[in-house]
Structure 1
Amino acid sequence: MFDYFTYLLYKLFYIIMTHIPKSIMKHLVKVFANIGYAVDTKHKKIAYNNLDFAYGNSISYSEKRTIVKESYENLIQNIYDFILNQNLSLEDMDKKVSIKNGSFLTNLIKTNKKIIIVTAHYGSWELAIPYVSLKFRPISVISKAIKNRYLNKVFVKVRHKHNLVMFEKHGAAKKIVKALKDNRMVAMAIDQNIGKKDATIVKFFGKEVTQTDAPIRLASKLGAKVVPMLFTRDGFDKHQAIFFEPLDVKDNCTKDDIVNYSQQISHIFENQIRKNPRDWFWQHRRFKEFHKDIYK
């Protein structure tokens, strides 16, 4: 019953967000973000803990507060993106997305290379993969099913519209290999904490964190190119797709090679987050694996 009630709330938000003019919605996003900041004490505390740990005293409390508030605003904007973009054509999306360094991706597509895109919960992440899948080449994504079966049905339906194939982490390796062989790109968000068993250790804001080594291992085994990609916000409902230089992962990587390639990705993400910290999802326990104490 609760799941269905949540689904009805989602439908209500869908109706509101798709019928209210953008000029008004822009202000409502700020209102919803301020409400989230006020009531979500658990994740707000995590965000402050992360900022204290990452930046120390190099930025003031006032700056940290601004970042956390704007991070909530970015989260609400991602919900808005998901709802608004469900029925948009590629032509409609093109009108609000500019592309930086697109040749890093298109040159690989022209030469028929296998491609693994690595990305993060940064900026317009709800638009990023659907747009690239429609614009360049269909994408397969590892994704957790939403526990609410009604919402999960909506989520899957929308993703299929955008040329996306979703599959669960369990048994994903074979499906990823098949997707790459079938000339689909594979995309992974790799900026969240995972257990050491499935990870390599990299530095992020100068601290040790875990990061999945799956894209590097797969690229080494299958001869794929790894392309880091982030979508940043360029105003309300305006976005910039940023592609970074592909990693030319060598065959038969050693453990040290995997760490080095993984660190390159972490460094790219950190640099971009430092430029626009409000765009990252600070409400996740990113440093948990080695620094649990900061979340007490």
Structure 2
Amino acid sequence: MQFIAYIIVYPILWIISILPFRVLYIVSDGLYLLLYYVIGYRKKVVTNNLKLVFPNKEDSEIKLIKKKFYKHLCDMFLEMAKTMSISKSELKKRFKIKNPEELKRIESLNKSVILMFGHYASWEWTIEVQNHINFSGYGVYKQLANPYFDSLVKNIRSKFNTKLISTKETISTITENEALGKKSMTAFLSDQSPRLSRDVYWGSFMGITIPCFTGAERLAKKLDLSTVYLKINKVKRGFYEAEVITLAEDSRKYKDYELTDMFLKEVEKQIYEAPEFYFWTHKRWKHMGKQVK
């Protein structure tokens, strides 16, 4: 069944990938109408999340954010498919690094780098960062249950020489690289919800106490890596700009969880500025108030 699902879906994704961008966004508009008005994909989750983090907003404001979000979600889904065939020059035009000199500066420290960012704007096109660095680029991802789709996602996100590694491979890969003297930049989507355990860190995100993913910070401190935040903004439809913000050249100097808090504050600032570009279908606040004792 997994292979059958793959051979049905793959041709559709490939056709989407070869569409001109102007046609792609016409398809996206149609997908938005289907997803929002007909299917109602996770509308309850999105509404609850928005009301939770924006308790003072009127229902009309929540509805407007929600509609804008679904339009962005459809754009991003189709842009992910477009990545299958996008050229290096086209991606460079559509995903600009605002301050590439900061990447060069952080590399000049001769320390491997942890690159943190959230589910905001376009995390799929962050593969463009690899074209601005000399270090080996890695992206940490959660392995999919369907091996065929998992291989497809790895191929798409590994364009331009970025290598995807699963969460289970992360520690061993970075540790081995460090032992060999091989410098790397490893990207973490660090705003997701971790599994609950007694030793999980509970921090504040959008004014709500929740369990926080701390793997990126722990690796940075353990292996003496620099920590960087990639602030991604959507400039207009199909165009993004990313700013490199160095959180710590020496991660070991910071108190436990301080870098995690700094990262979450950066994501928060972006959400408050333009909430429609955050990934609201994710159940980010599902564990609030469920501390394990």
The TM-score with structure 1 as length reference comes to 0.87
In the other structure, the counterpart of 2:89 is 91
Q: Would you say 1:123 and 2:121 are equivalent positions?
A: yes
Which region of structure 1 is more displaced relative to structure 2, 152-161 or 216-225?
152-161
Out of 145, 152, 155, which is 1:154 matched to? 152
Q: Would you say 1:211 and 2:200 are equivalent positions?
A: no
In structure 2, do the counterparts of structure 1 residues 174 and 6 end up closer, same or farther at CA, with 3 Å as the change threshold? closer
In structure 2, do the counterparts of structure 1 residues 16 and 167 end up closer, same or farther at CA, with 3 Å as the change threshold? closer
CA deviation string 1:244-292 (max 9, x = no partner):
2332444376xxx122221111101000111111110011111111257
**CA drift at 1:87:** 3.0
- What secondary structure, in the 3-state scheme, does the structure 2 residue paired with 1:240 have? strand
Q: Is this contact kept in 1: 2:113–2:185, CA < 8 A?
A: yes
In the other structure, the counterpart of 1:224 is 225
CA deviation string 1:144-183 (max 9, x = no partner):
2222222222222233333122222225312122245421
In structure 2, do the counterparts of structure 1 residues 196 and 24 end up closer, same or farther at CA, with 3 Å as the change threshold? same
Out of 150, 161, 164, which is 2:162 matched to? 164
Q: Would you say 1:51 and 2:50 are equivalent positions?
A: yes
Listed as ranges, the gaps of 5+ residues in structure 2 are none
In the other structure, the counterpart of 2:37 is 38
Q: Would you say 1:29 and 2:28 are equivalent positions?
A: yes
Count of paired positions: 286
- Where in structure 1 do 4 or more consecutive aligned residues deviate above 6 Å? none
1:59 maps to a residue whose letter is K
2:195 maps to a residue whose letter is G
In the other structure, the counterpart of 2:61 is 63
In the other structure, the counterpart of 1:9 is 9
In the other structure, the counterpart of 1:187 is 187
- What secondary structure, in the 3-state scheme, does the structure 2 residue paired with 1:116 have? strand
- Percent identity of equivalent pairs: 22
Q: Is this contact kept in 2: 1:202–1:211, CA < 8 A?
A: yes
In the other structure, the counterpart of 1:133 is 130
In structure 2, do the counterparts of structure 1 residues 45 and 191 end up closer, same or farther at CA, with 3 Å as the change threshold? same
RMSD of aligned C-alpha atoms? 2.3
Which region of structure 1 is more displaced relative to structure 2, 191-200 or 217-226?
191-200
In the other structure, the counterpart of 1:246 is 247
In the other structure, the counterpart of 2:270 is 272
CA distance in 1 between partners of 2:33 and 2:177 (Å): 41
CA distance in 1 between partners of 2:200 and 2:125 (Å): 27
- What secondary structure, in the 3-state scheme, does the structure 1 residue paired with 2:247 have? coil
Q: Is this contact kept in 1: 2:217–2:257, CA < 8 A?
A: no
In the other structure, the counterpart of 2:142 is 144
**CA drift at 1:2:** 5.7
In structure 2, do the counterparts of structure 1 residues 60 and 103 end up closer, same or farther at CA, with 3 Å as the change threshold? farther
Which region of structure 1 is more displaced relative to structure 2, 201-210 or 103-112?
103-112
CA distance in 1 between partners of 2:158 and 2:246 (Å): 28
**CA drift at 1:223:** 1.5
CA distance in 1 between partners of 2:289 and 2:59 (Å): 21
CA distance in 2 between partners of 1:3 and 1:122 (Å): 31
Out of 100, 106, 111, which is 2:104 matched to? 106
In terms of fraction of residues, the more helix-rich structure is 1
In the other structure, the counterpart of 1:79 is 77
Q: Would you say 1:286 and 2:276 are equivalent positions?
A: no
CA distance in 2 between partners of 1:182 and 1:51 (Å): 43
Listed as ranges, the gaps of 5+ residues in structure 1 are none
**CA drift at 1:241:** 1.1
Q: Is this contact kept in 2: 1:142–1:187, CA < 8 A?
A: yes
2:48 maps to a residue whose letter is N
CA distance in 1 between partners of 2:289 and 2:70 (Å): 24
**CA drift at 1:40:** 4.5
CA deviation string 1:193-222 (max 9, x = no partner):
112437422111111122211122111122
CA distance in 2 between partners of 1:74 and 1:143 (Å): 22
In the other structure, the counterpart of 2:173 is 175
CA distance in 2 between partners of 1:291 and 1:223 (Å): 33
Which region of structure 1 is more displaced relative to structure 2, 83-92 or 237-246?
83-92
